[in-house]
């Protein structure tokens, strides 16, 4: 799992992008399409049109950082999203799974909470 502070959000761009885009091209997509400020310190995830390349753009104190991953075999298994949405928010665990090639569309178990009044500190 990625060790990110809770204040950092991860935004996944649902539209596939041209991976020839560098920092300025990705920054423009963040501003104009995703309607976010790229200098907020959040992570912005982009997948290439062939779905075998992925870039993550983020601002780090005094400049932009681009993380790039190209799969030698296979395709990234993208989350199922409504076609009308331009971005979805991800958890750090989901991004780690995406980078590891795990299908994000698997059904997730519901979060369990103990019933009221039961002592769980045994």
Query: Mean pLDDT throughout 28-50?
Result: 94
Mean residue pLDDT of the chain comes to: 86
pLDDT given at position 44: 96
Cβ atoms of 78 and 100 within 8 Å: the answer is no
pLDDT given at position 23: 95
Residue ranges per structural domain of the chain:
10-99
* pTM, to two decimals: 0.81
Cβ atoms of 53 and 19 within 8 Å: the answer is yes
Can you tell me the distance from the alpha carbon of 67 to that of 69, in angstroms, rounded to the nearest whole number? 7
Q: Count other C-beta atoms under 10 Å from residue 50's C-beta.
A: 12
Tens of pLDDT, residues 50-95: 999 999 999 988 999 999 999 988 888 887 777 778 888 888 888 8
> Which one, of 101, 79, 82, 100, lies nearest residue 90 by Cα?
79
């Amino acid at each position: 799992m990625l060790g990110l502070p809770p204040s950092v959000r991860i935004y996944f761009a649902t539209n596939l992008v041209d991976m020839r885009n560098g920092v300025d091209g990705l920054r423009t997509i963040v501003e104009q399409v995703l309607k976010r400020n790229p200098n907020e310190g959040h992570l912005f995830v982009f997948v290439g049109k062939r779905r075998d390349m992925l870039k993550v753009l983020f601002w780090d104190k005094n400049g932009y950082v681009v993380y790039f991953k190209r799969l030698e075999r296979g395709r990234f298994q993208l989350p199922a999203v409504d076609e009308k949405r331009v971005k979805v928010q991800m958890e750090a665990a989901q991004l780690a799974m995406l980078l590891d090639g795990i299908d994000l569309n698997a059904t997730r178990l519901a979060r369990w909470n103990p019933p009221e009044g039961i002592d769980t500190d045994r």
